[in-house]
A = this chain, B = another copy of it.
Amino acid sequence: KTYSIAVIPGDGIGPEVTDGALTVLAAAQRTFGFSLDFTDYDAGAQHYLRTGNLWSADLAQQLRTHDAILFGAMGDPAVEPGILERGFILAMRQAFEQAVNLRPVKLYPGVETPIAGLTPERCDLVIVRENTEGAYVGQGSTIHANTPNAVAIQESVNTRQGITRVVEYAFKLAASRRKKLTLCHKKNILIEAGKLWQEVVDQVGSRYPQVQLDYVHVDAMCFHLPVSPERFDVVVTDNLFGDIITDLGAVIQGGLGVAASANLNLDGSAPSMFEAIHGSAPDIAGKGWANPVGAILSAAMLLAHLGEEQAALAIEAAAVGVLQKLPALAGPDMLMSTEQIADAVAELVTTN
């Protein structure tokens, strides 16, 4: 079986960590008997500065021909904040209806977490973030701008249809795991949006009697997540709260270096996109210091999405194997480079 993968390395450390993920994917295809056909796409800050191009109908059409998209990172100090985020990443999430942003929060053995006493057994949850609407619609207006009476109104738009597809996905996931679903919102304040979210969760939930339902305010989530992650199995939340609590999740699991994510199109109408949670980190670009594990685990999620579960599990296991060795290898002169880490994971994938 052959899968066609679009690769968008992007900026900063994006290309380095993407290279690492490609090394591992290449090893997996040999071992697990499928083949991957990679097509590179030039996009991001450098591309934008050179050509003025961000997301476009033309690019969308080309990307649509692929089975999945592997994404590095975007961002550069030379480009105004927000341009690439809205002009490319959000544009893709919306154009390709990548309705779910799936972010596992898993503390792997051997990874150092800043949370005192936290153990891997206590930290294995998944955050299901709505990925196309809410505050991310970017709707709003400012009246009396440039006067002392300026009023900026920012809207969050939440549709039953948009919420439902995400909530259904979350219930299915919870049913396949520890059977616990937590809605994270701020329904005591954001009453309109909160009511619709809770309504959908209750409705869909009636079809999943085996899944235990819980509700936690987003502020309380920030309180509980670091100290009692074992309380959570699947957390479903809106776009903005998801953005916020998944960064907190990344802290808990030991940093952005290992955090992976999937932007999932659920109806097969367009490709899904897989990216490490970290950004382009221009300050360390080109030094070979970037941790490729987030990108590698995102590549594993890509394979799982394509149905290559075994290969995905093997990559995750191999990454865990290498992560366990990392602390012992740490220190100014003994750090493994981005490439060495990727090679070590690839090696484990083929030999395990």
Do A223 and B158 have beta carbons less than 8 Å apart? no
A157 to B150, CA, bound (A): 10
Do A188 and B81 have beta carbons less than 8 Å apart? yes
Known contacts: A154-B156, A160-B150. The answer to whether A140 contacts B193 by CB under 8 A is yes
**Of the residues B114, B155, B158, B218, contact of A244 by C-beta under 8 Å:** B218
The chain B residue with its CB closest to the CB of A83 is: B188
Do B140 and A149 have beta carbons less than 8 Å apart? no
**Of the residues B149, B153, B223, B248, contact of A192 by C-beta under 8 Å:** B153
Closest Cβ of chain B: how far from A348's Cβ, in Å?
Answer: 28
Do B151 and A154 have beta carbons less than 8 Å apart? no
The chain B residue with its CB closest to the CB of A243 is: B219
* Chain B hits for A116, CB < 8 A: 113-116
Closest Cβ of chain B: how far from A209's Cβ, in Å?
Answer: 23
Digit string of A207-235 for contact with B (CB within 8 Å is 1, else 0)? 00000000000111011001100000000
Cβ of A177 under 8 Å from chain B: no
Cβ of A66 under 8 Å from chain B: no
Cβ of A92 under 8 Å from chain B: no
A161 to B193, CA, bound (A): 27
* Chain B hits for A240, CB < 8 A: 186, 189
The chain B residue with its CB closest to the CB of A135 is: B190
Cβ of A251 under 8 Å from chain B: yes
Within 8 A of B (CB), among A221-276: 222-223, 226-227, 240, 243-248, 250-251, 256
The chain B residue with its CB closest to the CB of A189 is: B136
Closest Cβ of chain B: how far from A178's Cβ, in Å?
Answer: 23
Do B155 and A160 have beta carbons less than 8 Å apart? no
Do A159 and B150 have beta carbons less than 8 Å apart? yes
Do B115 and A193 have beta carbons less than 8 Å apart? no
Cβ of A109 under 8 Å from chain B: no
The chain B residue with its CB closest to the CB of A151 is: B159
A18 to B301, CA, bound (A): 51
**Of the residues B148, B154, B157, B160, contact of A158 by C-beta under 8 Å:** B154
Cβ of A195 under 8 Å from chain B: yes
* Chain B hits for A193, CB < 8 A: 140, 152-154
* Chain B hits for A222, CB < 8 A: 222, 244-245, 247-248, 251
A195 to B195, CA, bound (A): 29
Closest 9 CB pairs of A and B: A140-B192, A82-B188, A152-B196, A150-B160, A154-B193, A222-B248, A219-B247, A152-B192, A116-B116
